[in-house]
Amino acid sequence: MATASVDLKPMTADEFAEFVRLPENENRWFELVGGGVLELPPPMKIHGVVCVNTGTQLHLFVRRRKKGYVTSNDSGVILSRDPDTVRGPDVALYEDAQRWSELHPKYGEVPPRLAVEVFSPNDKLGKLLRKIAEYLRAGVEIVWLIDPDSRNVTVFRPGLQPVVVEEDGELIGYDVLPDLNVKVAELFWMPEANGS
């Protein structure tokens, strides 16, 4: 999503957590990058459908293996400190908690094993690639960049060239998430397209 800088003094992750909960920020989306606040436009319908479809596939995977959990709605994770950066993947798969009581109440610092970004019409590719690089530097082991227009997924992993998986292909978890297999077509699922 395209971003706009918000003219505020630099913040820490804790200050940012309080800022986003202010009444005037209800129904607004923000990220913290190097201490600076960025406002994100609200997601559109296609973006939401792709996120739900992706989250569903990942949720089914973690339920089958009885390990990990999935977040959506740009749930924040602290990627760096001093200055602080809090990014919100569109969908993410974590393994740092197994019980409800273990979930961090604000922004955790343990990176997801898999982060997902859905390319939106307002996105600038360069900014999105910088965000993906931040994920990888912070320890995220797999990043999927889903392109609803091209109906494909670019897979990023640390130290490796990105790989594009087309709609008729399958996404795998490599040695990071063994047994993860998701057909790219499932990310764009709609009843009519699948005859059900």
Q: Residue 179 falls within a domain, yes or no?
A: yes
**Alpha helices of the chain — where are they, by DSSP H?**
13-20, 45-65, 125-137
Q: What is the pLDDT of residue 146?
A: 98
What total of structural domains would you count in the chain? 1
Residue 186 maps to which CATH number? 3.90.1570.10
Q: Which of 81, 105, 80, 78 has the alpha carbon at shortest distance from 92? A: 78
Average pLDDT over residues 41-52: 92
8 A C-beta contact, residue 146 and residue 119: yes
> Given pLDDT bands bounded at 50, 70 and 90, which one contains residue 162?
very high
* CA separation, residue 105 to residues 25, 59, 149, 196 (Å): 19, 20, 35, 39
Q: Residue 118 falls within a domain, yes or no?
A: yes
Give residue-wise pLDDT tens across range 104-159. 988 999 999 999 999 987 788 899 999 999 999 999 999 999 999 999 999 999 99
Q: What is the pLDDT of residue 1?
A: 44
Average pLDDT over residues 37-62: 94
Q: Residue 23 falls within a domain, yes or no?
A: no
Q: What is the pLDDT of residue 193?
A: 61
Q: Residue 128 falls within a domain, yes or no?
A: yes
Q: Residue 18 falls within a domain, yes or no?
A: no
Average pLDDT over residues 42-67: 95
Residue-range definition of the domain harbouring residue 140: 43-74+87-194
End-to-end CA distance of the chain: 31
What is d(CA 162, CA 154) in angstroms, rounded to the nearest whole number? Answer: 6
Asked if residue 44 has pLDDT above 70, the reply is yes
Q: Residue 189 falls within a domain, yes or no?
A: yes
Q: Residue 5 falls within a domain, yes or no?
A: no
Q: Residue 108 falls within a domain, yes or no?
A: yes
Share of the chain above pLDDT 90, in %: 83
